[in-house]
Every structure is written in C-alpha cells, then in structure tokens.
Amino acid sequence: MARAIEIGTVYGGGLALGIALVSFPAAATILTAVDGYGLTSNQYGSIFLPLVAGAVLASLFAPALARRHGLRAILLAGFLSTALAMSVFALSSLLTQVHWLAFALVLLATGLLGLGFGATLTAINAYAASFFPRRSETALTALHTLLGTGTALAPLIIAMLADGGRWWLLPLAAATAMFLLAGLGRTQPLVLASETGSGQTAGAWAVIRALPARFWIWICFALLYGVCETLFGNWGTVYLNQQRGLTPATANLALAVFWAAVTVGRLLVAVLSTRIPPAKIFRLLPVLIMLALAAVALASGPTLGVMAFALAGLACSACLPLSIGTASGESPRFVETVSGWMVAAYMTGFGIGAFAVGPLREAGDLPLSQVYLWAMAIAAVLIVLTLALTRRSAPPAAAAT
C-alpha cells in the first residue's frame, strides 16, 4: 500500500505539473488582450525567461542536491515551488488594472514555476524509472502521458472559464493539488533505488567524465527540440488569433488539440514500438516536425489551423520521451543526472523559442508565419542528429519521456 501511495504521488505530480506548465500559454490571449493584462509581444515572450532560468538552474543543480539531501527533498521542493507559482498567477488576475504590478507578479510566478518544473520533472522521471526498473520505458511513457493529459486539459479549461472571467480558477486548483501532493509526499519514504549506489556519491566532475560522449549529442537534440516545441506550444494561440484572425476560443482549441495529440502520440509509440523498432519511429519524428512547421505557417482557416497543430502534436509526441529514456538507459548509474541535464537542455531551447520570437517580430516586423518557416532549418538539424543517434545497433528505448 505504501508503494502505491508513492507511485500515486509521483504520477499525480506529473498530471498537475502538466496543467501548471501550460497555464501561461493557455492564457496567452488574456495576457495579450487590451482588456486583460495588455502585454506586448515582447513582454509576453519575456515572461518565459524567468521560467527557463529557474527550470535550467533547478535541473542542473537538482542531481547534486539529490545526492546530498535525497531525491525526496527535490520532489517536495518542486511541488511547493509550483504551488506558489500558481497561487501568485491567480493573485495577479486581481491586479490587471495596475499593469506594472500584474506584470511583475506574472514574472515572479513564471520564475517559481521554472524552479518547480525543473525540480519536479527531474525527480519524477528518476522515480518512475526506479519504481519499475524492468519496465522503465513503459513507466516513463505512462508518466509523460499523464503530464501530456494535463497540458491538453489546461487550454480547454481556460477557454471554458474565460468567458465568465473565472480563468484564474485553473491556477488556483493546480496550486491546491500541488500543496496536497507535497503534504502526501512528506509522509512517504520515496527512496530512489540508486541512492545507495556509487553514482550517488560521485562528484559532478566524476559524473561528467563517466557520461558517454553520445550524451552530449542527446543534449543538443533536446535543446533544439525544445525550440521547435515552444514555437507550437507558446506562440500558437497568438499566431492563430492575431495573424490568422481566429477567435480566442478557436486558438485555444488548436493548442488543446496540439497537447492532446502529444499525449495520443506517446500512447501510439508505446504500442507500435512492440512491433516496429523504436529507432525507425524516432527517425521519422523530426521529419514530421519539419512538415508540421510548414503546415502551421500556411494554415489560414480554423480547420486547417487545428489540423496543422494536431500534426505538430503527433510530431513532437515522443521526441522528449525517447531521448530522455534512451540517454538514461545508456547511463543507468546517473539516471537523476541524465534526467536533470536533459530537462535543462530542453528548457534552454524552450527559452530560446519563447523569448527570441518577440524581439524578432518587433525589430523586423516579422510575421509569425515566417518564423515557422525559418524554424524548418532547426528541424533539418534535428533530422541529422537523429540519424547520428540511431546509427548504433541498440535502438532508442521505446517511450520514456
């Protein structure tokens, strides 16, 4: 029974984390609306800088802190930081008439969310693999399917609540869930299986030397993938609403479809990988990302817009799970380190994609459709990296995230 509660805490944390992570892009039309927060494109992009900085710092330092204080402390800190982030975001909705203060609170909220996201994702990835060592790929797929479910639900819930001005109920509910999970986790041992191994006491430099050279290629892949995913997930609603003239509800529907397709894609990969070598699936995904970028750039109506983001979701679905799962499998002694640094690389790409677009648009009057077309070059590099990473005989582990 105790182990069941531990598993529920970890997997419940994945669901709540997904909801929290997408709360800000799901509220993009509210944040940028004149009668909402009134943020410019540059300001909207800048709110993700604290998130990225916090997530990268937490992901980089979480493994070392876990070796010193135990991974449970990292998990609980992540839960609490995420809960505080959602509380501050909900509070900011009361102060939209005081623009500078509301903006400052949003920046504080994203910074706290970054710390919470980096710490929580690093911990739950390691726990999921540790709970089911013989089926770690399936365990990680299930975890990230729940995380993806949360990311798909957030835009739908925001859209339903926005008309009545009650959208702030979503971050408030996410904060409550995270506080409850932190309290529940406090009562559980949550001991990682590898915490008594030699990898647990190794110093940072020893870990770096022990990691295979291929790991740094995985790091590059995660970073560039993060850029592409963020163009879909963070700028999609702004693009469809402002450039293509779709209603906020339709734009949020496209975002929800994107995250739903991410979740469905992970499940499909888990099933298909029993019959198709995962390496073949992995090689296909960057090609689909390139096609999705072109489809989004050319989408001009509601139907085509939603369909393009559905394709983007399927294309992005298993990239992060496969990369983290395979990289972790290649370095099982340092699973928390691999997980943390892969998340850090992914979040660095997230930051590039989230922040760079705003200045580009304002400096060169660049339409978002052109940004999506230019990003096809990044997808081309991903294709090359994927071919290099799947050249070895051992294919990527099926679905991990």
* Beta carbons within 10 angstroms of residue 206's beta carbon: 13
Side chain identity at residue 194, one-letter code: S
Q: How far is residue 390's CA from residue 385's CA, in Å, rounded to a whole number?
A: 9
Q: How far is residue 337's CA from residue 334's CA, in Å, rounded to a whole number?
A: 5
Q: What pLDDT sits at residue 393? A: 42
Q: Which two tokens stand for residue 83?
A: 């809960």
Query: In this structure, are residues 167 and 94 in contact, taking their beta carbons and an 8 Å threshold?
Result: no
Q: What pLDDT sits at residue 201? A: 54
Contacts of 332 (CB under 8 A, 6+ apart): 194
| pTM for the predicted model, two decimal places | 0.80
Query: In this structure, are residues 107 and 325 in contact, taking their beta carbons and an 8 Å threshold?
Result: no
The DSSP call for residue 366 is -
Distances (CA, A) of 85 to 46, 80, 110, 113, 342: 16, 9, 7, 5, 23
Distances (CA, A) of 41 to 44, 76, 88, 237: 5, 34, 22, 12
Q: What pLDDT sits at residue 137? A: 66
Query: In this structure, are residues 70 and 193 in contact, taking their beta carbons and an 8 Å threshold?
Result: no
Query: In this structure, are residues 238 and 354 in contact, taking their beta carbons and an 8 Å threshold?
Result: no
Q: Which of 145, 137, 117, 128 is nearest to 313 (CA)?
A: 145
CA dihedral 390, 396, 399, 401 (to 10 degrees): -80
- What domains sit in the chain, N to C, each tagged with a CATH number? 2-389 (1.20.1250.20)
Residues 117, 123, 127, 130, CA torsion sign: positive
- Which long-range contacts link 247-252 to residues 24+ away (Cβ below 8 Å)? 248/29, 248/33, 248/159, 248/162, 249/159, 250/302, 250/305, 250/306, 251/29, 251/305, 252/26, 252/29, 252/155, 252/156, 252/158, 252/159
Per-residue pLDDT of the chain (401 residues; tens, 9 = 90+): 668 899 999 999 999 999 999 999 889 889 988 888 999 878 888 898 899 899 999 998 988 888 888 889 999 999 999 999 999 999 999 998 999 999 999 999 999 999 999 999 999 988 887 888 776 667 777 888 899 899 889 988 998 998 888 999 999 999 999 999 999 999 998 886 655 554 455 566 677 777 888 899 999 999 999 999 999 988 898 899 989 999 888 998 898 899 889 989 988 887 887 788 777 888 999 999 999 999 999 998 899 999 999 999 999 998 988 888 778 777 777 777 888 889 899 989 988 988 888 787 777 678 899 999 999 999 999 999 999 998 864 444 444 33
The pLDDT tens digits for 216-266 are 999 999 999 999 999 998 889 889 998 999 988 899 889 889 988 998 998
The pLDDT tens digits for 193-216 are 655 554 455 566 677 777 888 899
Q: Which of 257, 258, 241, 259 is nearest to 249 (CA)?
A: 241
C-alpha 272, offset from chain centre: 23
Whose tokens are 């669901």? That residue is 15
| CA angle at 356 for the pair 350 and 361, rounded to the nearest 5° | 135
* Start-end of H helices in 247-334: 248-272, 278-298, 302-316, 319-330
Exposed/middle/buried for residue 264 (C-beta within 10 Å: 0-12, 13-18, 19+): middle
